Amino acid sequence: MELALVQSNAKLYLPEPARIVKVRNFTEHEKFFQIELLRKGSLGHDPGQFVEVSILGIGEAPISIASPPDSGNRFDLCARAVGDVTKKLFTFKKNDLIYIRGPFGHGFDDKIFQRMRGKHLLFIAGGIGYFPLRSLINQVIPNAKNYKKISILYGCKTSQDRMFPDELKKIHHLSVGSNVELLETLDHPEADWTGNVGVITTLIPKIDFDPAETIAIIVGPPIMYKFVLTSLMDKHMPKENIYMSLERRMKCGVGKCGHCQMEGVYVCQKGPVFNYADVEHNEELF
């Protein structure tokens, strides 16, 4: 048996109040929210984990944490307005209250950090896949000396869809004379775009990396994974060197409600961050 039986947790479904302390618009459909728990404590998360965001009377939605763990008592959430909760959230202003449960799921834990140390980190982000990855990127960039190299590949549809453009600019500046590099591509660029054109996989051949010494971290829309994985396999990347975050429909966040279960795997428990070698045979995940 693989069960880990525990006592009842009275607060399992009880969210705690939190205040929106900053709001920033990226596009018509994507926004940034900085959040502070009313208890003024830290959320205590790992990069890659998520929270259930509640709006009373509307519901709950799982949203990735977009800031690194060491951001004091505040944390960042970024969302695209597509569902009931996110659409309502978009009407919220600074100082409005939301409710939070979590952090939940398996993120980039100490074990993964141990594995990443001294390695070449290859981030591959598509569109708003940058949101969850930002929690890890902003954690490793200030400590870039701990890694052989940090390469960030970022692909979007148009230049309007580039999230955190100011932070991207900073990373571009930083990359001069350092071991950090950022390569971007657009599917449908405007006339003034001087960077790469094409889907995210067109950036992979531009990176010089030793597959055995590289850890790849992928987050993007569901369609992206298959193509990126094929490109990495062509480069003979070991499967256990690939991590990815896979989001699914989640209601409870605690492995009960069944919505996120893909084959035998509860994404809210074993994921959202997975090692490819652990799940490569899971046909429902890919």
Partner 1 sequence: MLLKTTKTALLKGIDQVLSTYQVAALTKQDSRVLYNYVKTSHDIFWGCRPTVLPPKKFFFPPHETLLDYTADGQIIAKIESKPLVLFGIHPCDLRGIQILDEAFADLHGDPNYLERREKAIIIGLDCHQTCDQDSFCYKVGAHYAKTGYDIMLYPLKDDQYLVEVATDRGNVFAEQFLRAIKGEEKELEEYQQAKAKAFESLKPFKDLEKFPELFQENTHHPVWEHEGARCLSCGSCVMVCPTCYCFNVTDDWELNMRAGKRQRHWDACMLHDFTTVATGENFRPTATARLHHRINRKFNYLMKKHGQSVCVGCGRCVRACLADISPKTIAEAINGEDEKEWN
What residues make contact with partner 1 under the rule CB under 8 A?
1-15, 17, 54-61, 80, 82-84, 86, 97, 99, 222, 247-249, 251-252, 254-264, 269, 283-284
* Distance in Å, CB of 129 to partner 1, minimum: 13
Which phi-psi region, left, alpha or beta, contains residue 105 (left: φ > 0; alpha: ψ -120 to 50)? left
Question: Toward partner 1, which CB reaches closer, 62 or 69?
Answer: 62
Show the tokens assigned to 165.
């453009």
Measured from the CB of residue 282, what is the shortest distance to partner 1 in angstroms?
Answer: 11
Report the nearest approach of partner 1 to the CB of residue 79 (Å): 10
The β-bridge relationship of strands 214-219 and 59-64 is: unpaired
Is 17 or 195 the residue whose CB approaches partner 1 more closely? 17
Q: Which residue lies nearer to partner 1 by CB, 7 or 114?
A: 7
96 φ, ψ to 5°? -70, 155
CB 156 within 8 A of CB 124: no
For partner 1, the closer of residues 173 and 256 by Cβ is 256
Q: Are 14 and 60 in contact (CB under 8 A)?
A: no
Distance CA 182, CA 146 (A): 18
> What is the nearest approach in angstroms of partner 1 to the Cβ of residue 15?
7
Q: Which is nearer to partner 1, 6 or 191 (CB)?
A: 6
Residue 213 C-beta: closest distance to partner 1, Å? 34
Specify which residues 180 forms β-bridges with: 150
Q: How far apart are CA 129 and CA 154, in angstroms?
A: 9
